[in-house]
Structure 1
Amino acid sequence: MSNIRTDLAIEARELYAKDHEEIPGVETEDEESDNIRINRVRITSPLGERQLNKPMGNYITIDAVDIRERDPEYGEMLSRRIGDEIRKIVNLNDHSTTLVVGLGNWNITADSLGPKVVDRMMVTRHIIQLMPDQVDERVRPVCAIAPGVLGITGIETGEIIKGIVDRIKPDCVIAIDALASRSTNRIGTTIQIADTGINPGSGIGNHRMGLSKETLGATTIAIGVPTVVYAHTIGRDSLQLLIDKLSARTTPGTPLYGMIKELGEDKMDNIVEEILTNNMGDLVVTPKDIDVMMEHISGIIADGINLALHKDVTLEEVHTFLQ
């Protein structure tokens, strides 16, 4: 797994499961309805943490391939499902304050998911503080920030968030960021929700100060969508497909068959690295319609978070508030 890069727990489990019948310390559950698949991975032991290279906790993966059709009804259904899953791992009362953090660089389309979600948040903390008598009792205090990235601010994102958390003392922090996947099929169609926090910039290999309950002192939920895939991964998958097709059409026992079978994972990695990584570094790839994709998925995620954070509000009420 060392050469396969992914931020998704479900993909890490799938990669490990190729060579192992079961993974100690890892519990899984699958659910599917209305063309939405939900996979829940729970890492319960240090062994499972080491095997999957993910912190212990809950990882919820929502696969919604039909999101590509951009059907409004499907999008609303997906938002409600996201809200339901968030509520399952976050315990909020009527006075709980939530800080929503939109990670990423708003100047780079594939990294702008977090800021775009923040733009659509139902922010209410200031209204509750200044005009409490005019606020519906179903509305809870929510504040939001898009802190930018180190290259823009010159400040570690984790330091900015830590300072805000120490000041306003939220009960929960929800961080949204773009992720990297090992599969092009998951770009813009998969949503991961985790209660283990997140490292800003992890999607493209930048490891900054982590945002978690341990570093912030508040429950930290991470929500991410894959927006990029490493070119190395595409090269590996293409080479593997070619080898599989050649193997199926080559007579066993011939020299060509033997040469094909000798191409193990290490040799494939070396070939791809020689062609791609050595010449262009860690090249990442994103779809050409990523701008449209980001506008759509960010709205769906924002609606889901709004439904989860406020008590018994409807999507119509959320959209009216944001107008």
Structure 2
Amino acid sequence: MANFRPIQVTTDMAIEARDIVRGDAHEEVPGVRVDHKQDQQVEITRVEIFTDEGAHLMGKPQGHYVTLDVPHFRDRDASLRQELTRVLTDQIKDLIPKTVDNTVLVVGLGNWNATPDALGPRVVERILVTRHLSDIVPDDIKERMRPVAAVAPGVLGTTGIETLDMIKGIVDETHPDLVIAVDALAARSLDRLLGSVQIADTGIHPGSGVGNRRQGLSQESLGVPVLAIGVCTVVQAMSIAEEAVHILAQQLADDVKFYKILEELGESNQKGLMQEVLAERLGGLMVTPKEIDLLINDMADVLAESLNRALQPHLDRSEWA
């Protein structure tokens, strides 16, 4: 039986945490279930953490985490964006109340002034906000329209107010039935950079992926269910170095003695060596694509379109576009 150890690295992605904890073991992490499915160009991975032991090993709360992987999103293919929008819409619909009477508050977390962290605010700009329209729209639209509010609270460094305090105040005054929090995430793998979307029913902890954990938005802290939607916009430089060395060791082990030694160490020991040598220089460095402005806008369009479709299933797109 494998000897699993709690995760020692930082990542916002549940699937990455599972892979790190599992390592080379041929059995699943205790208290964790994983299911894979392919929907045309989108790979869907569901991770369920269902015991305290699983939560401890994974470093994440018990609950369900759905990852949609589209590694070629950075190619800016319009058909792929449409495919991701369709799949994401279906996933969100499965996790929100079916009746349109329920009020939803969409919260765009992040910093408007830092592009890799601006996903949440840019999604909020595109959300169809309807909570204030109930006394204005015709009855035939009103009965099909879900009340939706949206807010981008900013970050502690620019507001001086903890995000939780601000959202808690709004929730207490407006009484939504569900909060949907949208945020940028940090990943360990380059393949997930602007290529993975994670949906979680456990809430969200702003800044946790970059070592700047703020107070979490969850059902426990807000008093209402919280659905978290995040996209990987930054990756740790240390992870890039580790991945590069691992690839070199695999490809050059037969020709270069140094890489043969690294290959014999195994992937986990390679990463340990890299941490020891480079952690001080690269430990806090985060990397994002040079075309991040375009990609953030593309992903904000996808997330907002998916949320609008899922939250307003009985409205024709022509009524809110």
TM norm. shorter chain > 0.5: yes
Conserved in 2, the CA contact under 8 Å of 1:102 and 1:146? yes
Residue 165 of structure 1 is aligned with which of 171, 186, 195?
Answer: 171
Q: Within the alignment, does 1:175 sit opposite 2:177 as a pair? A: no
* Equivalent position amino acid for 2:34 in 1: T
Bigger mean CA offset, 60-69 vs 147-156: 60-69
Residue 289 of structure 1 is aligned with which of 279, 283, 291?
Answer: 291
* DSSP 3-state at the match of 1:78: helix
Check 1:247–1:306 CA distance in 2 against 1; reply closer, same or farther (3 A cut). same
Q: CA deviation at 1:308?
A: 1.1
* Equivalent position amino acid for 2:308 in 1: N
Check 1:60–1:2 CA distance in 2 against 1; reply closer, same or farther (3 A cut). closer
Conserved in 2, the CA contact under 8 Å of 1:84 and 1:308? yes
* Equivalent position amino acid for 1:35 in 2: Q
* Equivalent position amino acid for 2:21 in 1: Y
Distance 2:209 2:267 in 1: 27
Distance 1:129 1:284 in 2: 47
Q: Within the alignment, does 1:261 sit opposite 2:257 as a pair? A: no
* Equivalent position amino acid for 1:294 in 2: I
* Equivalent position amino acid for 2:20 in 1: L
Q: CA deviation at 1:292?
A: 0.3
Distance 2:318 2:299 in 1: 18
Residue 244 of structure 2 is aligned with which of 216, 238, 252?
Answer: 238
Distance 1:37 1:217 in 2: 33
TM-score by length of 2: 0.90
Q: CA deviation at 1:312?
A: 2.8
Conserved in 2, the CA contact under 8 Å of 1:99 and 1:142? yes
Residue 102 of structure 2 is aligned with which of 88, 92, 96?
Answer: 96
* Equivalent position amino acid for 2:264 in 1: K
Check 1:177–1:59 CA distance in 2 against 1; reply closer, same or farther (3 A cut). same
Bigger mean CA offset, 152-161 vs 12-21: 12-21
Q: Deviations over 1:231-257 (max 9, x none)?
A: 111112222223333434468xxx995
Bigger mean CA offset, 17-26 vs 217-226: 17-26
Conserved in 2, the CA contact under 8 Å of 1:303 and 1:315? no
Distance 1:235 1:66 in 2: 22
Q: CA deviation at 1:132?
A: 6.5
Conserved in 1, the CA contact under 8 Å of 2:238 and 2:283? no
* Equivalent position amino acid for 2:14 in 1: A
Q: CA deviation at 1:314?
A: 4.2
* Equivalent position amino acid for 2:48 in 1: R
* DSSP 3-state at the match of 1:148: coil
Bigger mean CA offset, 265-274 vs 30-39: 265-274
Residue 62 of structure 1 is aligned with which of 55, 64, 68?
Answer: 68
* DSSP 3-state at the match of 1:32: strand
TM-score by length of 1: 0.89
Check 1:244–1:145 CA distance in 2 against 1; reply closer, same or farther (3 A cut). same
Q: How many positions carry a matched residue from both structures?
A: 315
* Equivalent position amino acid for 1:216 in 2: L
Conserved in 2, the CA contact under 8 Å of 1:35 and 1:66? no
Q: Within the alignment, does 1:208 sit opposite 2:211 as a pair? A: no
Q: CA deviation at 1:60?
A: 0.6
Residue 19 of structure 2 is aligned with which of 2, 14, 19?
Answer: 14
Residue 90 of structure 2 is aligned with which of 84, 89, 101?
Answer: 84
The equivalent of 2:10 in structure 1 is: 5
Check 1:158–1:246 CA distance in 2 against 1; reply closer, same or farther (3 A cut). same
Q: Percent identity?
A: 43
Q: CA deviation at 1:272?
A: 4.4
Q: CA deviation at 1:300?
A: 0.4
Q: Unpaired segments of 5 or more residues in structure 1?
A: none
Q: Within the alignment, does 1:188 sit opposite 2:194 as a pair? A: yes
Bigger mean CA offset, 100-109 vs 5-14: 5-14
Check 1:132–1:32 CA distance in 2 against 1; reply closer, same or farther (3 A cut). same
Residue 223 of structure 1 is aligned with which of 208, 229, 238?
Answer: 229
Distance 2:281 2:128 in 1: 46
Q: CA deviation at 1:134?
A: 7.1
* Equivalent position amino acid for 1:96 in 2: N
Q: Deviations over 1:47-66 (max 9, x none)?
A: 11122211111101111234
* C-alpha RMSD over aligned residues: 2.4
Q: CA deviation at 1:258?
A: 5.7
Conserved in 1, the CA contact under 8 Å of 2:182 and 2:230? yes
* DSSP 3-state at the match of 2:134: helix
Distance 2:91 2:267 in 1: 40
The equivalent of 2:300 in structure 1 is: 298
Q: CA deviation at 1:78?
A: 1.9
Distance 1:256 1:101 in 2: 47
